[in-house]
C-alpha cells in the first residue's frame, strides 16, 4: 500500500532545491510546447495554500483532494504546499520533496492559470523544521490558507501554531474532523471555516429564498419544533443545517429556549435525502422541504395561513473546489 507522498504525482527533488527545480520545471514545460507562465510571471500566483493531511488520511483520499485543488487552481492560480506526515519515524532522509506544476489555458493564449505544488513528506523527528521549510516554499506577500484534512486530534493539530496563526482562513471538514474541532480554542478562531457549512450553500440559499417571501413574524408565530431528517451519510450536513435554521429563526423573533430543534436519521433507503419540517401549534399551518441529492430534485410544501403552496426545486451541494473558494473568500 503506497504512502500518501508516494501516491501523489510529481517529480521528486532534493528539499534544498525546490524553488530552483520549479523554475526548471516551467522551462521544460514551455520547451515542450505546453502552457507555461512567462519567466517574469512564474510566481504570479494569487494565494498560498497549505493542505495538511492528518494521520487518518489514506493514499486514495489524498489523490482525490489533490485533484480538488487542481480544479480550484484553474480559477485561482495557487502555490500549494502539501504536508504528508509519516506514521512512524524513519532514518534519514527525514524530509522528502516532490514538485508538480500545471497551467490551464483560458479564453485566449495569454490567459493562463498556473498552479505549483510542493509535496513534503516528513517524519516526527523532522517536525521542528517543518514550518521553516513551508515558509521557504510559499510565495511572499500573499495570503495563506490552511486546510487540515482528516487530522486525528485537535490538540495535535494545534501544535502547528505558526501556520494556524498566520493563516487568513483555517479550513476543516466537521464531517470527518474530531468532535471538538469546531469548539477547540484555535489560535485564531475567527478564521476557522467549516467546509460542511460551505458546501450546503445551495441548500441554504434555496430555503432562504422560499422563506423570505413570508414576514418573519408569520414564520415564527406558533412555531413549536424544527426537525431535520437525513440519510446516514448526511448527518454532518443535517447538524449544520439545523444550527443555521435555529440562528435564522431566532433572528426572526423565535425564542430558541421554547422551541425544539432536533435531527432524525432516515431509514437506510433514504440515501442522499435531507428533509426539513416546521411544526406549529395550529395543525393547519406547516412547512415541509424534501431534497434528494442523488437525483437533484427537491419539493417545498407550506401553508402559513394563506393557503397551501407547493413548489418543485433543484437541490445540490457545492462541488468540493467551489466549497473551498466559498470557505476562503466569503
- Domain assignments of the chain as residue spans, ordered by start: 4-142, 201-314
Residue with cell 451519510: 233
Instruction: List phi, psi (to 5°) of 210.
Output: -70, -50
pLDDT in tens, 100-141: 998 887 777 667 788 999 999 999 889 999 999 999 999 888
How many Å apart are CA 258 and CA 261, to the nearest integer? Answer: 10
68 and 76 Cβ atoms separated by less than 8 Å: no
Q: Is the pTM of this model over 0.95?
A: no
> Strands 192-194 and 169-172, how do they pair?
parallel
Nearest to 196 by CA among 238, 151, 231: 238
Mapping DSSP to helix (H, G, I), strand (E, B) and coil, where does residue 105 land? strand
pLDDT in tens, 169-227: 999 999 999 999 999 999 999 999 999 999 999 999 999 999 999 999 999 999 999 99
Amino acid at each position: 500500500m503506497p504512502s500518501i507522498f508516494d501516491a501523489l504525482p510529481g517529480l521528486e527533488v532534493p528539499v534544498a532545491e525546490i524553488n530552483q527545480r520549479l523554475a526548471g520545471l516551467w522551462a521544460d514545460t514551455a520547451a515542450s510546447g505546453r502552457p507555461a507562465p512567462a519567466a517574469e510571471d512564474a510566481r504570479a500566483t494569487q494565494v498560498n495554500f497549505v493542505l495538511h493531511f492528518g494521520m487518518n488520511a489514506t493514499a486514495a483520499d489524498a489523490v482525490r483532494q489533490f485533484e480538488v485543488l487542481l480544479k480550484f487552481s484553474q480559477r485561482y492560480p495557487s502555490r500549494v504546499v502539501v504536508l504528508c506526515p509519516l506514521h512512524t519515524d524513519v532514518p534519514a532522509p527525514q524530509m522528502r520533496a516532490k514538485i508538480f506544476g500545471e497551467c490551464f489555458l483560458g479564453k485566449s493564449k495569454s490567459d493562463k492559470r498556473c498552479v505549483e505544488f510542493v509535496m513534503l513528506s516528513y517524519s516526527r523527528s523532522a517536525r521542528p523544521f517543518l514550518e521553516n521549510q513551508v515558509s521557504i516554499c510559499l510565495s511572499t506577500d500573499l495570503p495563506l490558507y490552511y486546510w487540515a484534512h482528516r487530522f486525528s486530534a485537535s490538540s495535535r493539530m494545534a501544535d502547528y501554531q505558526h501556520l494556524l496563526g498566520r493563516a487568513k482562513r483555517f479550513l476543516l471538514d466537521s464531517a470527518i474532523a474530531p468532535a471538538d474541532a469546531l469548539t477547540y480554542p484555535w489560535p485564531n478562531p475567527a478564521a476557522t471555516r467549516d467546509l460542511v457549512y460551505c458546501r450546503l450553500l445551495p441548500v441554504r440559499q434555496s430555503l432562504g429564498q422560499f422563506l423570505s417571501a413570508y414576514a418573519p413574524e408569520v414564520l415564527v408565530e406558533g412555531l413549536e419544533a424544527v426537525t431535520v431528517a437525513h440519510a446516514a451519510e448526511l448527518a454532518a450536513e443535517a447538524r449544520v443545517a439545523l444550527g443555521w435554521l435555529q440562528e435564522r429563526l431566532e433572528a426572526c423573533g423565535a425564542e430558541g429556549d421554547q422551541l425544539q430543534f432536533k435531527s432524525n436519521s432516515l431509514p437506510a433507503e433514504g440515501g442522499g435525502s435531507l428533509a426539513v419540517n416546521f411544526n406549529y401549534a395550529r395543525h393547519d399551518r406547516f412547512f415541509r422541504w424534501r431534497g434528494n441529492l442523488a437525483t437533484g430534485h427537491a419539493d417545498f410544501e407550506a401553508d402559513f395561513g394563506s393557503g397551501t403552496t407547493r413548489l418543485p426545486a433543484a437541490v445540490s451541494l457545492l462541488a468540493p473546489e467551489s466549497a473551498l473558494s466559498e470557505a476562503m473568500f466569503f
